[in-house]
Every structure is written in structure tokens, then in C-alpha cells.
A and B are shown apart, each in its own frame.
Chain A
Amino acid sequence: MNIQSCVEVRNEWDIVKARQSGRNIAKELGFGTVDQARITTAISELARNIYLYAGSGEVAIERVENGGKLGLKIEASDSGPGIKDIRKVMEDGFTTSGGLGAGLPGVKRLMDEFTIDSKENEGTIITSIKWLR
């Protein structure tokens, strides 16, 4: 099986699609049920951010390898309004969607690696990896 997928996000159904393909790949790679659920939640949050703030974008999920370590990489990208103050959105307690504990810092904690790149009026790319232990 080709372990990668890319889901375009335009509506809430697409969020479910992204979750599903993330969960399938996580299972395939051998992640336990708790990590599967974490990865899925991370994908869900990222896809939801695209849907809410950028309107549309895509979520790519693929298998990565580094020095014998196996992992799952999520890349969420959009060409939306971008994030003005990245430090602010990475602060706990700052979330415009009002969800408790959600938001980007929450995603960062669910995963092992997290990078964010954003330019105002150009868009945002978030890359995040969970390694298999």
C-alpha cells in the first residue's frame, strides 16, 4: 500500500475524510490506539483551522523515516490570510474558536515535532510529525 494521502479541505466532510485517512495510515504504520486517536485529533484540529480561517487548503499525510525511526508526518497548508502573530497563536489560552485546550499549542503537545510557517496574506504551512516508539 502506498502510504501517503492528500485530502483537500473545503467543508466539514473533508475534515472527516482527512481524519479517516490519517487514522488508516497511523494504524498501518503500527501506532497503538491511543496514538492513533492523538494523531487523528491533531489532523482534525489542523483541518478545522483550514476550514474556519482559510476557507480551503489541503492536508497531506505521509510516512517518514529518519535514522531507522518510523513516523507519520502531517502537512497542512493553505493560501488563506496567514497568521499575523505566530507567537500569540502558540500561546496557551489563546484560541479564537473558543475550544478548551484546543488550538495549535495543543496540537504541538499531541505530536513530537511541530513547525509553522506563515505569511500574512499568503498562507500558512504547518508540518508535524509523530514518531513510532
Chain B
Amino acid sequence: MDDRDLQYQKYKSILENYLQEQSEQTLYKGQQFSRKMIEQKISPEEAVSLHVSVLEELFPDIPQRLKNSYDFLLEMMIGYGFAYREHQSLRSRQQQLESEIEIAANMQQTLLAGDKPDVKGLDIGAISKPAQKMSGDYYHFVQDENNCMSVAIADVIGKGIPAALCMSMIKYTMDSAPEQRMQPGAVLENLNRVVEQNVDPNMFITMFYGLYDPRVHSFYYAGAGHEPGFFYDAEKDEFEELYTKGLVLGVSKKTSYQEYQRVLYGNDMVIMLSDGVTECRSSSGFIERDEIVAMIRKYIHLSAQEIVDEVYRELERLQEFELRDDFTLVILRREV
């Protein structure tokens, strides 16, 4: 007996049962049988045909008119079969696409993996979480032979794959101009030129770039339209905005970026973030920058990494675990 016969016999016995006694149990068996048929990719027209051939065996003298009506039903079901098979094929294509995206996302993770450097006297915390599979946020640390550490944090306006592709370009550009690393303003000017020339005009990138020189405990920075970070003055126990002046990358060919400097004393902190942090939305509206500050303050006794982790966890909870935008938060703290 082949599969088809087996199926026929099984269906026949369930149907006979049901005709004898209309029990819920038999209907349940029918439901299970139909699930099996779907697993075996039996199309709707085949299911109807199965039913009709069983009927014809059970009731050999069905009127011809009724038989004809089954042929008509079969014809109708072909269209459903058409749609059903298209659905199956689209589904397998979707799975294929998803696994491709998965691979690309892993590649991006390796590419952007911002290994936190070990800088003497500096406590560093960093977290970056994509809203979708691929991130349009970016952060990157580079440490040079003088122990100076540069940090870049960028956000592509837009999400998902296009933003991620754009991000990779930023990374390569940064890697290819190491001599500029010491001048935040020049780094942004160079990037602006590359973005302006290579990226679709509807795509913008904001960036904050900073350099910490542990020899003089100074932080030099510049920003291109990026969400302002915070500076925490430990002595005064106050947070202030880390304001920068400069146009978003890719808007105009010739733009210059002003450079700023801050000296860090013991326990002072520099806090950098993407707008995914401040644009978190809870049921009661946007989360205010003050609230972010309050959260940081709440965990200020912890290490820099623990602070960013806790803030992320809290915001994630506030948004009911649904990130709307890529989220990146970086904290530098001068150790005492």
C-alpha cells in the first residue's frame, strides 16, 4: 500500500466514523489529519478530490448531478491551490532572506565589534543594541601608541539594512585616515566629504567624535548634528550638556566642525549616546533627557559598564521590550 492508499483508507475511516456518529472526538481526529496533510504539502484541490473519491465509494449511487457539482468544486479549488503554492514558495523565500540577513547581521557585529580598550585611569562602559536585526548605530574605540583613545559614536538616520551598509562605509573611512585621529574637527570634515560624495542625499549621518589624552586628562571632541551627550562634574555633582556645533554629515560639501576641550578630574564622566536613547518612548510619552540623567545618577556608584547596562535594562523595560530605534550609550569616567 503506498502513501496515497494509506491516506485514502485513513480518511475513509475517519469520515465513516463521523457519518455514523457526529462526535467531537472524530472532528478532532479530522483536524489532526488535516494538519498532517498540510505537512505533507497536500494542496486544497487534492484534499477535495480525496473527499470526493471516498464519497463515491461510500455512496455508489450518488446522483450524477451531484457528482458533476464535485467536478465544479474541484475546478474552484484549483485557484486556491494556486494561491496556496505561491504562499508556500514565498514562505520559503522569506526564510532564505531571513537567514541571509542573519549572516549579514553577524558580519556587521564582527565588523563593528567595538572592543573596549584598556586605558589606564579610565573606566569605560559601552552598549549598543539594534532595533532590528541590523544596526544603524555605530561606536568605535581606537587606542594609539601614546595611550590616547579616540571614540566615535554615530547614527545613520534610518534603520535596518540601508543604514547598516552606510555604517560600514563610515567604519572604513575612519580606519583609512589614522593620521587625523588626533583632531576631532578634521576627522568629521573628512567624513563629511566622503558621505556627501557617496551616500544617497536622503540619508544623513550624525556623529560625535572624541579623543581622550590620559597624559593631560583632556577630552577633545567635535560633533556633527549628533544628539548632545553629557558631562558629569563630580566635584559639583552636576550634569551638563556636552554641546557641539556642526552640521549633520553629508549635507553640504564644505563644512567645518568646531573642536572643544574638557579636562576630566577624578570621577568626572563623559556620556555619549544616540537618539535611540532619548527617543525611547514609554506609555507616558517620550523619555526626557532629565530622566536619562536621573537613571545614570541612580547607578552612579556602579562601574561604567554596569551603568550603561542598567540604564539599557531600565529603558527596555519602560518600552515593554520593544526597541523603536537603535540604542547606543557610552560612558567614560576618569578613575581617581
Contact = CB atoms under 8 A, between A and B. Distances in A.
A94 B45 CA distance: 23
Given A37-B45, A38-B45, A92-B89, A102 B71 contact: no
A38 B86 CA distance: 15
Interface in A83-116: 92-93, 100-102, 105-106, 109-110
Interface range for A: 10 to 19
A100 B87 CA distance: 10
Contacts, number: 52
Contact of B90 (A34, A40, A92): A92
B93 A34 contact: no
Interface stretch (B74-82, B151-159, B222-230, B280-288): B74-82
Contacts of B81: 38, 110
Contacts of A106: 82, 85-86
A34 B79 contact: no
Interface range for B: 10 to 19
B89 A37 contact: no
Interface in A109-132: 109-110
B86 A34 contact: no
Contact of A109 (B74, B75, B89): B89
Contacts of A102: 79, 82
Interface in B44-98: 45-46, 49, 52, 71, 74-75, 78-79, 81-87, 89-90, 93
Given A33-B52, A38-B81, A100-B79, 9 more contacts: A33-B71, A34-B45, A37-B74, A37-B75, A40-B75, A41-B82, A101-B82, A101-B85, A105-B89
Interface of B: 45-46, 49, 52, 71, 74-75, 78-79, 81-87, 89-90, 93
28 contacts: A32-B49, A33-B49, A33-B74, A34-B45, A34-B74, A37-B45, A37-B78, A38-B45, A38-B78, A38-B81, A40-B75, A41-B75, A41-B78, A41-B79, A92-B86, A92-B93, A93-B86, A93-B90, A100-B79, A101-B83, A101-B86, A102-B79, A102-B82, A106-B82, A106-B85, A109-B82, A109-B86, A110-B82
Contacts of A101: 79, 82-87
Nearest to B49: A34
Interface in A30-65: 32-34, 37-38, 40-41
Contacts of B79: 41, 100-102
A100 B80 CA distance: 9
Contacts of B49: 32-34
Contacts of A105: 86, 89
Contacts of A38: 45, 78, 81
Contacts of B52: 33
Nearest to B93: A92
A15 to B, nearest CB: 14
Contacts of A110: 78, 81-82
B150 to A, nearest CB: 46
A41 B75 CA distance: 8
Contacts of B83: 100-101
Contacts of B86: 92-93, 100-101, 105-106, 109
Contacts of A100: 79, 82-83, 86
Nearest to B76: A37
**Which one of B52, B74, B86, B93 has the greatest number of beta carbons of chain A within 10 Å?**
B86
A34 B46 contact: yes
B92 to A, nearest CB: 10
Contacts of B82: 41, 100-102, 106, 109-110
Going nearest first, the 8 A-B pairs with the smallest beta carbon separation are: A101-B83, A101-B86, A101-B82, A34-B49, A41-B78, A106-B82, A109-B85, A100-B83
A102 B80 CA distance: 10
Contacts of A33: 49, 52, 71, 74
